[in-house]
Amino acid sequence: MKKPFLWIVLSKNMSELTLFTNSVNKKPTINFVLLSLGMQLSETTQKSMTDTYLTVDQPGEAIVTEKKSKFLSFALHVESADEAKQMIESIRKKYFDARHVCWAYMLGWERADYRSNDDGEPSGTAGRPILGQINSAELTDIMIVVVRYFGGTLLGTSGLIKAYREAAALAISKARIVQKTVDDALSIRFGYEVLNEVMRVLKQFDEVQWEQQFAEDCRMQLRIRRSLSSKLSSELSAIYGVEVLNPTNE
């Protein structure tokens, strides 16, 4: 006689729990929908997708040698196209005797602003492989510059792609990668009589930062990660006499 067994199966999305039994007097299979767990996971996933990003806060440098050609690579933190342009010009001046100064950058937490340049190398053999390594690492607000000193031997298309890709990847590995949040900026205005209520709400949010100006009334400039911005705004708006201005992304 077989012993009764009970199987517990959790669905791939971790939102449904199913119980099975081989008992002779078994009852129909029972499904439990884990709404609270599913909602929690969904909220966590959405949070990580919408208000965090990866960047570098300390530069990385590397050297790759391929058939006597030297590739000096630099992974740098930049936050605008103008800043990236200045970086390129600075490196060009420092390595004025190099054959090529190739580069790529990615800007913004949405990773929608990017460019690459082959600087005289065959099309697609330098800037694109560099940009590909930025994408592989899922980084933004970063520029990678690769300086090439020609060694006298042609590398061919595949050789160039391999060299620039390796140089970019090695520079990234030498940099320090950090996770940052997309923050919303809120401005609030209220009377002194509700100051204690406002502070009570703010202290419930560990990640909120603020600056205050007290004169005839109270004014505060708040910064908080995007996933918590709506909740904070809603709780502050619920206090009678508090005016919350529309948030702006930073």
pLDDT at 43: 41
Q: Tell me, yes or no, whether 44 and 135 share the same domain.
A: no
Q: Tell me, yes or no, whether 33 and 114 share the same domain.
A: no
For 48-92, write each residue's pLDDT tens digit. 447 889 999 999 999 999 999 999 999 999 999 999 999 999 999
Q: Tell me, yes or no, whether 166 and 228 share the same domain.
A: no
Which residues have a Cβ under 8 Å from the Cβ of 4 and sit 6 or more positions away?
A: 21, 22, 23, 24, 26
The domain in which residue 38 lies consists of 6-50
Flag whether 229 is in a domain. yes
- Whichever domain contains 170, its CATH number is 3.30.230.30
Radius of gyration of the chain (CA): 27
The residue out of 152, 179, 206 marking a domain boundary is 179
Distance CA 131, CA 172 (A): 12
Distance CA 71, CA 69 (A): 7
Give the strand order in the sheet containing 16-21.
Answer: 6-10, 16-21, 30-33
Distance CA 156, CA 106 (A): 27
Q: Tell me, yes or no, whether 87 and 200 share the same domain.
A: no
Q: Tell me, yes or no, whether 104 and 62 share the same domain.
A: yes
Distance CA 92, CA 23 (A): 77
Provide the domain count of the chain. Answer: 3
The residue out of 163, 179, 195 marking a domain boundary is 179
Give the tokens for residue 187.
């401005």
Q: Once rounded to an integer, what is the mean pLDDT over residues 143-154?
A: 93
Q: Tell me, yes or no, whether 119 and 173 share the same domain.
A: yes
Q: Tell me, yes or no, whether 59 and 157 share the same domain.
A: yes
Pairing mode, if any, of strands 218-225 and 209-214? antiparallel
Flag whether 96 is in a domain. yes
Flag whether 1 is in a domain. no
Q: Tell me, yes or no, whether 123 and 148 share the same domain.
A: yes
DSSP, collapsed to helix, strand or coil, labels residue 225 as: strand
DSSP, collapsed to helix, strand or coil, labels residue 48 as: helix
Q: Tell me, yes or no, whether 26 and 64 share the same domain.
A: no
133 touches 172 (CB < 8 A) = yes
For 108-145, write each residue's pLDDT tens digit. 998 999 999 999 999 999 999 999 999 999 999 999 99
Of the candidates 27, 36, 145, the one whose C-alpha atom is nearest the C-alpha of residue 92 is 145
Q: Tell me, yes or no, whether 72 and 161 share the same domain.
A: yes
pLDDT at 166: 96
Distance CA 116, CA 151 (A): 24
56 touches 175 (CB < 8 A) = yes
Of the candidates 116, 122, 214, 199, the one whose C-alpha atom is nearest the C-alpha of residue 160 is 122
pTM above 0.85, yes or no: no
Q: Tell me, yes or no, whether 83 and 174 share the same domain.
A: yes
Q: Where are the beta strands (DSSP E) in the chain?
A: 6-10, 16-21, 30-33, 52-58, 60-66, 69-77, 100-107, 113-117, 142-149, 176-181, 183-190, 209-214, 218-225, 243-244, 248-249
Flag whether 170 is in a domain. yes
Flag whether 210 is in a domain. yes
pLDDT bucket at 214, cuts 50 / 70 / 90: confident
- Whichever domain contains 232, its CATH number is 3.30.70.260
Q: Tell me, yes or no, whether 163 and 81 share the same domain.
A: yes
For 22-59, write each residue's pLDDT tens digit. 554 544 444 434 333 343 434 444 444 478 899 999 99
